[in-house]
Structure 1
Amino acid sequence: MVDFASLPIPVIPYTPLCRPGVGIAVTSLGEVRAKVRMDFTTAPHRLDYHQIMLVESGTGDFTIDSTRYSCRAGSLLWIRPNQVIQFASATNMDAHLVMFTETFPLRLRAQMGMLDDVLRPCHWQLGDDELAGFQRVLALIQEEFGRPDQGLGEDILKHLLAVALMHIDQLCRSQRKDHRETDTPSGENGELFLRFRRELEASYRTTRLVEDYAAALNCTPRTLSRACRIVAGTSTKDLIDARVALEAKRLLVHTDLPVGTIARQLGFTEVTNFGKFFARRVNMTPGTFRRGDDPRN
C-alpha cells in the first residue's frame, strides 16, 4: 500500500499569519506570491488544508490532480487537502483566497460530504449572476475576518463559510446535466453515501467490487447504487473506478514507480488488466499519460 503523504511532493501546512489559532484565513493570490517563491508554486505541491480560489483578474493555467484548467476572471476553484496542484509558469492572475482546515467547517446536511470528496468537481466558470452572489459572500467573510474578535467572530466565520460552501454545492447540482428535482440528498441516502465515501477511501486499493462495499456497509448493492445515483448522479462502480484512476494518475505523474508496481499497489493482479482499465477511464495508456503526450494535461 502506498502512503501518499510520504511521497516526495512538498506539502504546505496551514500556518496563517493573521488570527493564529483560528482555522480560517482570507488573503489574495498576490499576497501569497509575495511570500512564496514562484519556482515553488510552479512545481507540484500539496496543501494540508482546503483552499477556495476565485479569480478576479488576469489569466493562467492551474493544474489539480493532473487536470489542467484555463482560468480567467470568474473562475472558481476548490483545492482539497493532498490534491497535487501546480501553477503555470506564465500567469498574471490575481484571486481571492479562502483557506480553512479540515475541522473548521460546520457539518450541515449530507451533501456537505463534498468537503471530503476528491471526486467532486473542483472548477467552475461562474456566470454574471453566480459571480455577483459569490462575491457578496466572500466580501462578508473578508469583512468579518478583518474585524476584531469580540467573542463570536469564529462562530460567525463558520456560518459564513457554510454559506459559501452551500453556494458551491448549489453550483454542482445546478450545472449537472442530469439535474432533477429528486437530486437533493437527504436522510438515509445521504448518510449511506457518506459512509460509502469513507469506505472507498479505506478500500479502493484492495477491491473494486460493488458487492464488497455493500457488504461492508451492511446494505444491498441496489440500495447503495440508489444512494450514489441520488447524491452523486452516477453509479457506485463509476465512483469506485474514478477513485482508483485518480490514484493511478497521481502515482504515474509524481513517482518513478514502474507501471507494474503501481498496478499491484492498486489491487490489479495483471499489469495488462491495469492497462486496459486505465485506457478505458483516461482514454490513453499509462505510459502515454506518464510522458504527458496528451495536450489536455
Structure 2
Amino acid sequence: MTTLRELRERHGDRPDVPYRLDFHQIMLVKEGTGALAVDSRTYPCRPGTLVWTRPNQVLRFLPRPDMDATLILFTETFPPPLNSRLEMLDDVLRPCHWQLSHAELVTFRRVVSLLRDEFEGPDRGQGEVLLKHLLAVVLLHIDQVCDWHHGTAAAPSQSEITTGDDLFLRFRRELDRSFRTTRLVEDYAAALGCTARTLSRACRTVAGQPPKKIIDDRVELEARRLLVHTDLSVGTISRHLGFTEPTNFSKFFTRRVGRTPGGFRKAERAGDVP
C-alpha cells in the first residue's frame, strides 16, 4: 500500500507516459482532481473516485499537482479463493471506474483503513493471512459497488448465480482464446457445449450484458491497444482480429468508438484525450 504522492516523490512526475503494470492496482482518490486513462478510455478523478486496473492494461496518469490517492497493489495469486466472479480478477472487460456516493465512500474508507493498519503494523505471526482476508473484504466491497452501479433490476436466484458463474468463467476464457477468429455467439456456445440461449442467460446473470456485447467489447479493446501501442497498419490489425475486409473493421470500430481507426490512432498519439 502506498499513495500517489509518495510514488510521484519517489519516481518523479511522468505525465502522459503510457505504461503497463503486471499486477493489480486499486486507487481511491483522497483529494484533488485529474484523470486516468485505462486502455485509451479516460476517466475523471476527484475525491471518492475508485479505479481498479488489472495486469496488462495500459495506463496513463493525468493528475493535477493537488491530486492524491490511496493505492493498493497486489498480484493475482495473493487474495484467498473467492466467488466465481472474483476469480476472474484479470477480466479486463469488467467495469474499472466508479464515483462512490458518500455512504459508499464512508464504508469503503473504513475497510481500507483496516487493511492499511495491518499493512503498516508489526507482523505478530498471522500478518500475511490477515492481509489476504482484509484484501478479500476490499474486493468484495468493490464487487458490491459494481453491482449497485451496473447491476440489473431483477436479482437472480442463488442457483442461477452458481450455474451462471461457472459458464460465464468458461466463456470468458474461451473468448480470450478465440476472439480473433470468431465473433459469433453460436460458435462460443458450441465450444462450451451449451445453447446460445443458455450462454446469454449466464452472461446477463453475471455481467448484466448479452454475450454479443461482451465479444465485441473484447475485440474493440484489442483494436484500441493495437492502434495505440503498435505501428501495425489498419489492414494488418483488421486481419489480426479476424475481419475479412478492412472496411468491415473500420465500420465496426467507427460505430463503437465514434472515430475511424486512423483518426483514433492519430488523436491518441497527439495526446488528444477525450
TM-score range, shorter chain: over 0.9
Tell me which residue corresponds to 2:28. Answer: 54
Q: Take 1:43 and 1:89, find their aligned partners in 2: how far apart are those partners?
A: 12
Q: Take 1:90 and 1:153, find their aligned partners in 2: how far apart are those partners?
A: 35
Q: Of 169, 174, 178, which residue of structure 2 is paired with 1:194?
A: 169
Tell me which residue corresponds to 2:123. Answer: 149
Tell me which residue corresponds to 2:102. Answer: 128
1:290 aligns with 2:268: no
3-state SS, counterpart of residue 239 of structure 2: helix
Q: Of 196, 208, 212, which residue of structure 2 is paired with 1:237?
A: 212
3-state SS, counterpart of residue 95 of structure 2: coil
Residue identity matched to 2:255? R
Q: Deviations over 1:186-235 (max 9, x none)?
A: 21111110111111111111111112211221111111111001111111
Q: Of 249, 259, 265, which residue of structure 2 is paired with 1:274?
A: 249
Q: Of 77, 87, 105, which residue of structure 1 is paired with 2:51?
A: 77
Tell me which residue corresponds to 1:259. Answer: 234
Give the deviation of 1:281 after TM superposition: 1.6
Give the deviation of 1:38 after TM superposition: 1.5
Tell me which residue corresponds to 2:145. Answer: 171
RMSD of aligned alpha carbons:
1.8
Give the deviation of 1:107 after TM superposition: 2.1
Give the deviation of 1:90 after TM superposition: 4.0
Number of corresponding residues: 271
Q: Which range moved further: 59-68 or 286-295?
A: 286-295
Q: Is the 8 A contact 2:151 2:208 kept in 1?
A: no
Q: Which range moved further: 143-152 or 224-233?
A: 143-152
Q: Take 1:254 and 1:108, find their aligned partners in 2: how far apart are those partners?
A: 34
TM-score by length of 1: 0.87
Q: Take 1:31 and 1:37, find their aligned partners in 2: how far apart are those partners?
A: 10
Q: Take 1:80 and 1:259, find their aligned partners in 2: how far apart are those partners?
A: 27
3-state SS, counterpart of residue 116 of structure 1: coil
Q: Of 66, 76, 89, which residue of structure 2 is paired with 1:102?
A: 76
The change in CA–CA distance for 1:287 and 1:140 in structure 2 (over 3 A counts) is same
Give percent identity, aligned residues only: 58
Q: Take 1:60 and 1:105, find their aligned partners in 2: how far apart are those partners?
A: 29
Give the deviation of 1:91 after TM superposition: 4.0
Give the deviation of 1:177 after TM superposition: 6.2
Q: Is the 8 A contact 1:183 1:233 kept in 2?
A: no
Residue identity matched to 1:33? R
3-state SS, counterpart of residue 292 of structure 1: helix
Q: Is the 8 A contact 2:36 2:63 kept in 1?
A: no
Q: Deviations over 1:41-93 (max 9, x none)?
A: 53000100000000001111111111111111111000100100001264421
Q: Is the 8 A contact 1:189 1:231 kept in 2?
A: yes
Residue identity matched to 1:29? L
Tell me which residue corresponds to 1:208. Answer: 183
Q: Is the 8 A contact 1:43 1:86 kept in 2?
A: yes
Q: Of 197, 214, 224, which residue of structure 2 is paired with 1:249?
A: 224
The change in CA–CA distance for 1:265 and 1:296 in structure 2 (over 3 A counts) is same
3-state SS, counterpart of residue 180 of structure 2: coil
Q: Deviations over 1:13-65 (max 9, x none)?
A: xxxxxxxxxxxxx11111111121312x5300010000000000111111111
TM-score by length of 2: 0.94
Give the deviation of 1:101 after TM superposition: 0.3
Q: Take 1:183 and 1:175, find their aligned partners in 2: how far apart are those partners?
A: 20
The change in CA–CA distance for 1:254 and 1:59 in structure 2 (over 3 A counts) is same
Q: Is the 8 A contact 2:171 2:188 kept in 1?
A: yes
Q: Which range moved further: 112-121 or 251-260?
A: 112-121
Q: Of 176, 191, 197, which residue of structure 2 is paired with 1:222?
A: 197
